[in-house]
Amino acid sequence: MFVTGGLKSLLPHVLRRIIRCNRLSISNTSGMAEGYKQANVVILHKSLADDFENFCHANAGPLPLLYRSKPGDWKCPSLSSDSDIRTDCLQYRIYEHGACTGTLTSLKEYSEQLKDMVTFYLGCSFSFEKAVQNAGIPVRNVEQKCNVSMYKTAVPCYSISTFCCNLVVTMRPIPESKLEAAVLATSELKEAHGAPIHVGDPDLLGIQDLSKPDYGDPVHLHPGDIPVFWACGVTGVEAVINCRAPLAFTHSPGCMFITDLKNDNVTVRSSRDVPQVHCVSQDPLHYSIVSAEAAQRIKNLETLIGIDPGDRGIIHLHRQDELLKACLSISHARSVLITTGFPTHFTYEPPEENDGPPGALAVAAILQALEKEVAIVTDQRAMNLNKKIIEEAVQLGILKRPVPLLSYQRESADSALMFLCENGNPGRPRFDHLVAIERAGMAADGNYYNARKVNIKHLVDPIDELFLAAQTIPGVATTGVGDGGNELGMGKVKDAVKKHIKNGDVIACDVEADFTIVAGVSNWGGYAIACALYILSTCEIHDRYLRKAVGFPQISKKMGWLSALPSVTKEEKLLKTLVRHGVRSGKTASLEMEVDGLPFYNIHSVMIEKLL
């Protein structure tokens, strides 16, 4: 027998009495007492109670603590008027030294042992199912009259003393068109686990097979459904197993304690609290979550850098929200590879222009502050120059430490794959994201052109091949930043380049990036990426999603992130360094304080101030 309409509408205290009398032959409490909070249950010896409470506070997503009893107290007056934890769950599990040694419908036979034990009541996702339904979203496990699917993940919780385990999640299939509504419906229900911690491919959590849940029942996806994962209170069961206590009890997964507390109708008040959902990858399928406020701030940055001071027609190349999507993808990345270098001045030594390196270093600096791995790949002939620039950037305080400098040469058909992946294995990429900032891009005829239609192929190593290879590696994304259409990654807008940019029919880059950021000056695109990553890192909604609602907010590191951002002073010093090394302005070949023919003071300096 499954949950019927009658059980859905019964008041909690009536349901508890029925359960107490062992008169229900159902497998879980999903859908019961709609609108009331349900609770996971963990019962431990009093000597472990303080550590477990701290473990809950350190992992508040999976383990939102509703109530902690005193030793031997079988009631929970703040949650229910007439309950007895020994009898009021459908089914219990008993654990001895970490092993489950049986299931029970009553704990009364253990009343003597329970006198020295403490009960923890932890929030449950069953509590938000009514809110999800009220938002017009189907709850598939209720529809299919089965328990929710629960999975162990590869995500470690924050450990406290003997309590250490990986996160457990529930999965609910949600129609793609309803993703944002599902996140909005649950995000403020913190005591029911809050917003999802992952949307998309289960393999990104270390879940191999959705048809084989570790707890509960398989829930089938309908066509168009996306798997959405919430933190789960069964994480507490895993913690009990790993702590190997001599004796412990938990509810059986899905057999919750039903409280008298109603789920409050939460009204989200400000854009800081309103979540948005954005797809950042199709292979593997991956969505990210960010606040509406943070998203708007990043869109404002995109608008700022999109002006066209050189009147080159770049407004026609602009793609909306590319900065936001690129930075969300980079935010999820573990390791980022940056490339820059446009040898437009082929009659000079060095031939490089000074648009590109400052933007690249600005991105590298924030990635270092965010504790991500970062490396730069450039032309073999320019290695010594770039090494000197990086060393001086460290001395100037732009970088915390030197960035590894790499070069790439094509030696065989699989050179790019060998460079990007360990032993050329696409399942083991070295980098999650590739970023090109003002990097010469290959045209349709295989050559590389500056804006004046001069072929500079003899000065350019085939780093484009890395971007082409990345398209074949699941989980590796690419971003191209440019200001004229002949830069690496601009292939995504090549038709517009050919139509609207001078010499575009010849110079247009043919190599696409997943995300294309168009800026009036490419350095500005790099600065905007750095500022956008800072905005994302200080967004509480995005931070929680990144850390999967385990551990503590990272906002304490804010000052370190802030100090890594570009500033007028730092960029002025860096430009002087480039001038000293003979790196010239792109448009004029001048060795003055200018980039792309635009003076640093009153143009670039003002843009930096606006971005900050």
Closest CA to 266 of 191, 198, 197, 196: 191
CB-count burial class (<10 Å; 0-12, 13-18, 19+) for 102? exposed
Place of tokens 């913690």: 239
pLDDT for res 32: 76
Supply the DSSP string of 318-337, one letter for each residue. --TTHHHHHHHHHHH-SEEE
Question: For 475-506, what is each residue's pLDDT tens digit?
Answer: 999 999 999 999 999 999 999 999 999 999 99
Q: What is the mean pLDDT of residues 325-339?
A: 98
- Four-way CATH pick for 13-268: 3.40.50.970, 3.30.200.20, 3.10.20.30, 3.30.2040.10: 3.30.2040.10
pLDDT for 81 beyond 90:
no
pLDDT for res 3: 42
CB-count burial class (<10 Å; 0-12, 13-18, 19+) for 365? buried
Question: For 537-596, what is each residue's pLDDT tens digit?
Answer: 999 999 999 999 999 998 888 888 999 999 999 999 999 999 999 999 988 999 999 999
Radius of gyration of the chain (CA): 28
**Distance (Å, whole) CA 454 – CA 611:** 34
Q: How many residues does the chain have?
A: 612
CB-count burial class (<10 Å; 0-12, 13-18, 19+) for 401? exposed
pLDDT for res 2: 37
Q: At what angle do helices 322-332 and 522-537 cross, to 10 degrees?
A: 60
Bin 72: left if φ > 0, else alpha if -120 < ψ < 50, else beta. Answer: left
Beta bridge partners of 36: 262
Q: Tell me where in the chain the CATH 3.30.2040.10 domain(s) lie.
A: 13-268
Q: What is the mean pLDDT of residues 188-199?
A: 94
pLDDT for res 73: 94
Question: For 256-308, what is each residue's pLDDT tens digit?
Answer: 898 998 876 555 566 678 999 999 999 999 999 999 999 999 999 999 999 99
Return the half-sphere exposure (C-beta side, CA atoms, 13 A cut-off) of residue 165.
26
244 token code pair: 């190997």
**Distance (Å, whole) CA 39 – CA 44:** 16
Entry pTM: 0.93
Question: For 366-408, what is each residue's pLDDT tens digit?
Answer: 999 999 999 999 999 999 999 999 999 999 999 999 999 999 9
Displacement of CA 467 from its chain's centroid (Å): 22
Q: Give the H or E element holding residue 438.
A: strand 433-439
pLDDT for 4 beyond 50:
no
Q: Evaluate whether 600 touches 578 at the Cβ level (below 8 Å).
A: no
Read off the pLDDT band of 253 (50, 70, 90). confident
Q: Tell me where in the chain the CATH 3.90.1640.20 domain(s) lie.
A: 275-611
pLDDT for res 477: 98
pLDDT for res 318: 94
Q: Where does 275-611 sit in CATH, by number?
A: 3.90.1640.20
251 token code pair: 């509810």
Q: Which residues contact 50 (CB under 8 A, 6 or more apart)?
A: none
